[in-house]
Amino acid sequence: MASMMQPQIILLKEGTDTSQGKAQLLSNINAVTAVGDVVRTTLGPRGMDKLIHDDKGSVTISNDGATIMKLLDIVHPAAKILVDIAKSQDSEVGDGTTTVVLLAAEFLKEAKPFVEDGVHSQNLIRSYRTASTLLDKCVESGAKVVLSRLAIGDLATQYFADRDIFCAGRVAEEDLNRVAAAAGGTIQTSVLGTCEIFEEKQVGGERFNIFSGCPSGRTATIVLRGGADQFIEEAERSLHDAIMIVRRAVKNSTVVPGGGAIDMEISKYLRQHSRTIAGKSQLFINSYAKALEVIPRQLCDNAGFDATDVLNKLRQKHAMQSGEGASYGVDINTGGIADSFANFVWEPAVVKINAINAATEAACLILSVDETVKNPKSESAQGDAAAGAMGRGRGGGGRGRGMRRR
């Protein structure tokens, strides 16, 4: 009897919270879907704004996906992955942050019924990565102005003023580099360049130094003005996205039609490809293809159009054997469909490729997690810190009794 008894083995500390299996996977999918629903209505030119205020009282109004994801106080570990991919998309290509979050959420939403039916998550992951790989194959001296990084003393300032020379000290290195590039100068121990006109102008409450007629001038300064800080900040974010898109288009000359056209075309291609596959993978790739339609569908919903009617028209166009409907997407102005290429609704291919790949990897990562372990040590440490703060507060109150009464 004694030889048959096995000693009890404790692997985790008492109080450790563990969640595993299908229930945990479905919980992660639900959390990611909930985050996707938050930013869903911000997609596209008719997207709505979100008003976010934090515990410090600061208010932000924005429809920029990266900004919203950064300001949301997300605590669910799986949902935090969407915050990471939004930051990555913003830093790498500068746009498509809402798209990448929405796609990741939609991929998992389409995978949920299969998980509930008992399909192993690795089968879904394998099929999703296959679909993403198919995507990659489808889309391939006499100076009159003196600027210094260092401070310019009073004696030097007066010296320059007597000779009708403008001087400015403590100029940021970034600004100095831009001026040097525009004026055709090179930075050594000093910069020499030329411009036709130099002047100081008052704009609002700020004074600006204006360099005009620079021989190598390929830069410009845009001054944003508005009635409230929130409006100016949102205008700056929108302008940043626009500049990044143009920058990517210049560096990567390949563009694809916007308005959900490329999403519908890839979806059609994957549906056709799935019919050549035997087994359950056909269903998984088909669900991946269906998830891609979330982009044109959400564009319609946000603009107040009938998404079902528009998507039916798009499917019909993209199914044409001649291929002439491949560039058709949602027409935001009329509520119908139009040739996005002909209407100059383009986006750099690198933005779409990065968004779909990142969303696919995020979905696969979440599908590969079947257990979450929460260490009680972190919770107890937070409780001790809070208790310590309260104790210090009481001590402070005791010492406060010796203060002078008013």
d(CA 131, CA 270): 7
On the question of pLDDT at 137 being above 50, the answer is yes
d(CA 322, CA 52): 48
- Average pLDDT, integer, range 9-36: 73
Q: Where exactly are the structural domains of the chain?
A: 17-140+253-367, 145-221
Identify the CATH number of the domain defined by range 17-140+253-367.
1.10.560.10
> In the prediction, which pLDDT does 340 show?
92
> In the prediction, which pLDDT does 305 show?
92
Share of the chain above pLDDT 70, in %: 73
Integer Rg of the chain from CA: 29
> In the prediction, which pLDDT does 144 show?
60
* DSSP H or E stretch at residue 201: strand 197-203
On the question of pLDDT at 403 being above 60, the answer is no
266-286 tens-digit pLDDT = 999 999 999 998 888 999 999
Give residue for tokens 């001649």: 322
The two domains 17-140+253-367 and 145-221 share their CATH topology (first three levels equal): no
* DSSP H or E stretch at residue 18: strand 17-20
> In the prediction, which pLDDT does 348 show?
84
**Range from 14-18, 23-27, 258-262, 388-392 carrying the lowest mean pLDDT:** 388-392
d(CA 376, CA 384): 12
Say if residues 39 and 45 touch (Cβ distance below 8 Å).
no
Question: DSSP readout, 146-194?
Answer: EE-SS---HHHHHHHHHTT-EEE-S--HHHHHHHHHHHT---SSS----
CB within 8 Å of 147: residues ≥ 6 apart: 167, 168, 171, 176, 179, 191
> In the prediction, which pLDDT does 184 show?
65
On the question of pLDDT at 174 being above 80, the answer is no
**Range from 4-13, 54-63, 90-99 carrying the lowest mean pLDDT:** 4-13
Say if residues 27 and 61 touch (Cβ distance below 8 Å).
no
**Range from 106-120, 197-211, 246-260, 368-382 carrying the lowest mean pLDDT:** 368-382
On the question of pLDDT at 32 being above 60, the answer is yes
Copy the structure tokens of residue 190. Answer: 């000093």
343-395 tens-digit pLDDT = 989 888 888 888 999 999 999 999 988 777 666 665 554 455 444 444 444 44
Measured at the alpha carbon of residue 221, what is the angle toward residues 200 and 182, in degrees to the nearest 5? 85
CB atoms within 10 A of CB 366: 24
Q: CA neighbours within 13 Å on the CB side: how many for 126? A: 9
CATH architecture of 145-221: 3-Layer(bba) Sandwich (3.50)
Question: Considering the chain, what is the average pLDDT of its residues?
Answer: 78
- Average pLDDT, integer, range 201-212: 76
Max avg pLDDT among 17-31, 94-108, 197-211: 94-108
CB within 8 Å of 35: residues ≥ 6 apart: 69, 72, 74, 79, 82, 101, 105
